[in-house]
Amino acid sequence: MVQAQDIPTVLVIDDDDDLRYSLKRVLSGRNYNVIEADSGEQGIQMAEQHHPQVILLDNRMKGMSGMEALQHLRGINPNAMIILMTAYGTTQTTIEAMKFGAFDYIMKPFDLKKIVSLTESAIAASSDMNKASKEEKPGKVTQEDIEGGIIGSSSAMQTVFKMIGQVAASDVTVMITGESGTGKELIARAIFQNSLRSQKPFIAVNCAAIPENLIESELFGHEKGSFTGATNQRIGKFELCDGGTIFLDEIGDMAPSTQTKILRALQEGEIQRVGSSETIKVNVRMLAATNKPLEEMVREKTFREDLYYRLNVVRIQLPPLRERMEDVPHLVDFVLKRLARDSKAAVHSISPEALNVLCRYNWPGNVRELENLVYRSAVMAQGEMILVKDLPQEIVSAVAQSSGLSKPPFPEADAEVSAAIPVPEVASEPVAEAPAASVPVVEDLPATLVGEPAADPFDAVYEALRGAHGSNILEHLEREIIQRALKETDGKQVKAAEILGMTRATLRKRIDQYDLSK
């Protein structure tokens, strides 16, 4: 028989009554003791009284925010696993949540099966923490805004943001890998800006851009007369960066002799200037990046194995843009807003047809290629909107060929219609939700579906939708079903949600998505 004290306690803190009810019903069925609070203040009181193993915490509530509550809750019980929930996720929120000790971060609306699985993992982690009796409280770190435009609503980028939050406050060495143009230096800067060294220097060095005979002087400095042309003493990047963070980009291009000195700097915390026998102590955190296969280079003896293991303590793998295509509309909008801010172009939007092309391109040059393409297209545009004709012809042709067509299938929409569809407004901080631009404009189902039912209604529905819309059948069908459920219940969302088998929060999101509020 399970004893009462053996039943895990889960605290749900959310001001959405429907969501709390749904979570309590599902988690109670898993033999968890579920308690509720509708505000951060009440949640802190409940945590002090009941000492829950897991806390499901909403980020945006009246009064105290979830992020503020998170820091209080971590002080009450460091072993409690806190899962932050929000429908308004941002890059910075994700990083800060992990930095302040959240177990994980989940976007609303979520699948209840996923939250149950996440809760089970959190309970197991809490149990392990209690067994180990680890009572150290996490240190507070300075909150910094992330600059430079790290954009990502995809699950792959959310994983990257979580890792930034987890490693930022420590001095662990981080290896950032990924294809050229994926934004490795931006990730390094984000780690630095969220670290305890954020008020100290950050120096980025592109190892591939410095000649081999000068790289040691650049990194470690040199004494006057140490080689031809050394007319003065020079202080190297490591000395200049003392107390701060140095980022070695393209470290796979570094010569073996320099690799040896980098290893010493990591292991001993000391360097020597070229031409000097004196050692200089330096306190530097090292971040490194490469697009080369270091493991293969180690096997081929072109990269030191001991240095590889010293650098590869934590690895952050950046996904190529083709593996997170849902981020393309948001990236395009971000670039356009930055252009407008810098007054470099009058363009502030892109036509749906042009955006469709960009969402179907393979992006071998990744985010850097997208940024340059948007800049070029904005310069070529004759009005305030980027049209298909403004895009590079080779891009349009490549998309057409990948679709098996002899010519581009992207005629511009009627000018009046296109002008009425601007790129959706996005928060100035990168949000971690798929932007509205990725949701196509939908229309009512054809009138043929309203008459007498056919002998096989499913065939009739499918054929009618297929003929009328060609693609996005599920979105068209979902919109119509939701619209009819609302009509049947006279707009009562609670009843409509029950009919549809979804939570009220999910229904509200769909109403906004399909513009059914009227």
- Are both 312 and 345 inside the same structural domain? no
Q: Are residues 482 and 343 in the same domain?
A: no
Across 192-283, the runs of DSSP E, i.e. the strands, are 202-206, 221-222, 234-235, 245-249, 270-272, 279-281
In a domain, 150, yes or no: no
- Decide if pLDDT at 438 tops 60: no
Q: pLDDT band for position 406 (50/70/90)?
A: low
Say whether pLDDT at 33 is over 90: yes
141 confidence band (pLDDT: 50, 70, 90)? very low
Q: Is residue 149 part of a domain?
A: no
pLDDT in tens, 44-75: 999 999 999 999 999 888 888 888 888 888 88
- CA distances 94 to 122, 167, 507, Å, are 18, 13, 25
* 178 neighbors 273 (Cβ within 8 angstroms): no
**Residue 441 pLDDT exceeds 50:** no
Position 276 scores a pLDDT of: 85
User: How far is it, in rounded angstroms, from Cα 232 to Cα 89?
Assistant: 52
Predicted confidence at residue 461, as pLDDT, reads 63
Least trusted range by pLDDT, from 32-36, 313-317, 348-352, 378-382: 378-382
Residues near 331 by beta carbon (within 8 Å), at least 6 away in sequence: 151, 321, 367, 370, 371
Same domain, 193 and 300: yes
Task: Give 330-371 pLDDT, tens digit per residue.
Answer: 899 888 888 887 766 678 888 888 999 999 999 999 999 999
Given a cut of 50, is residue 95 above it in pLDDT? yes
Is the same domain home to 326 and 309?
Answer: no
Kindly state the helix (H) or strand (E) to which residue 282 belongs, with its residue range: none
pLDDT of residue 134: 39
In this predicted structure, the answer to whether residue 133 has a pLDDT above a threshold of 50 is no
333 and 215 fall within a common domain: no
Handedness of CA 190, 91, 71, 137 (dihedral sign): negative
Taking residues 189-199, report their average pLDDT.
Answer: 92
Residue 287: per-residue pLDDT? 96
Flag whether 340 is in a domain. Answer: yes
Give 246-266 pLDDT, tens digit per residue.
Answer: 999 999 999 888 999 999 999
Per-residue confidence (pLDDT) for residue 101, from 0 to 100 = 76
In a domain, 142, yes or no: no
Q: Which residues span the domain enclosing 239?
A: 155-317
Residues 201 and 107 in one domain: no
Same domain, 432 and 452: no
Decide: 218 and 234 in contact? Cβ < 8 Å.
no
Q: What is the dihedral of CA 265, 268, 270, 276, to 10 degrees?
A: -90
- The answer to the question of residue 219 being in a domain is yes
| Whether 160 and 308 share a structural domain | yes
Q: What's the CATH code of the domain at 100?
A: 3.40.50.2300
| Distance between CA atoms of residues 359 and 423, nearest Å | 14
Residue 431 has pLDDT above 60, yes or no: no
Same domain assignment for residues 268 and 159: yes
Residue 167 and residue 313 in one domain:
yes
Per-residue confidence at 91, pLDDT binned at 50, 70, 90? confident
CATH (domain of 381): 1.10.8.60
Which of residues 299, 317, 335 is at a domain's end? 317
> Is residue 27 scored above 80 in pLDDT?
yes
Neighbouring-strand partners of residue 90 = 431
Is the link from the previous residue into 109 a cis peptide, with omega within 30 of 0?
yes
Q: Give the mean model confidence (pLDDT) for residues 188-200.
A: 92
At 451, the amino acid letter reads G
User: What's residue 244's pLDDT?
Assistant: 94
Alpha helices in 272-365 (DSSP H): 294-299, 305-311, 328-341, 352-358
The pLDDT tens digits for 263-282 are 999 999 999 898 888 889 99
Count of beta carbons in the 10 Å neighbourhood of residue 270? 13
Residues 435, 331: Cα–Cα separation, whole Å? 10
Q: Is residue 127 part of a domain?
A: yes
Instruction: Indicate which CATH number applies to the domain containing 504.
Output: 1.10.10
What CA–CA distance (Å, rounded) separates 404 from 174? 43
Is residue 328 a part of any domain in this protein? Answer: yes
Residues 399 and 453 in one domain: no
Q: Which of 125-139, 336-350, 476-490 has the lowest mean pLDDT?
A: 125-139
Confidence of residue 474 (pLDDT cuts 50, 70, 90): confident
- Across 232-236, 308-312, 372-376, 430-434, least confident range: 430-434
106 bridge partner residues = 85
SS3 of residue 496 by DSSP: helix
Nearest one of 8, 94, 5 to 55, comparing CA atoms:
8
| Count of structural domains within the chain | 4
Q: Tokens 């306690």 identify what position? A: 9
Model pLDDT, residue 44:
92
Amino acid at 102: A
pLDDT confidence bin for 37, thresholds 50/70/90: very high
Amino acid 422: pLDDT: 38
pLDDT over 60 (residue 16)? yes
Question: What pLDDT does 430 receive?
Answer: 39
DSSP 8-state class, residue 367: H
Lowest mean pLDDT among 102-111, 185-194, 433-442: 433-442
Instruction: Decide which of 274, 290, 317 is a domain's last residue.
Output: 317
Domain boundary among 302, 317, 332: 317
Structure tokens at 328: 């393309």
For 503-514, the pLDDT digits (tens) are 777 788 888 787
Average of per-residue pLDDT values in the chain: 79
Residue 102, pLDDT above cutoff 90:
no
**Is the predicted pLDDT of residue 472 greater than 70, yes or no?**
no
pLDDT band of residue 233 (cuts 50, 70, 90) is: confident
pTM of the model: 0.62
Rounded CA-CA distance 354/350 in Å is: 6
Angle at the Cα of 301 (from 297 to 304), degrees rounded to 5?
Answer: 80
Q: Please indicate, yes or no, whether residues 107 and 30 belong to a single structural domain of this protein.
A: yes
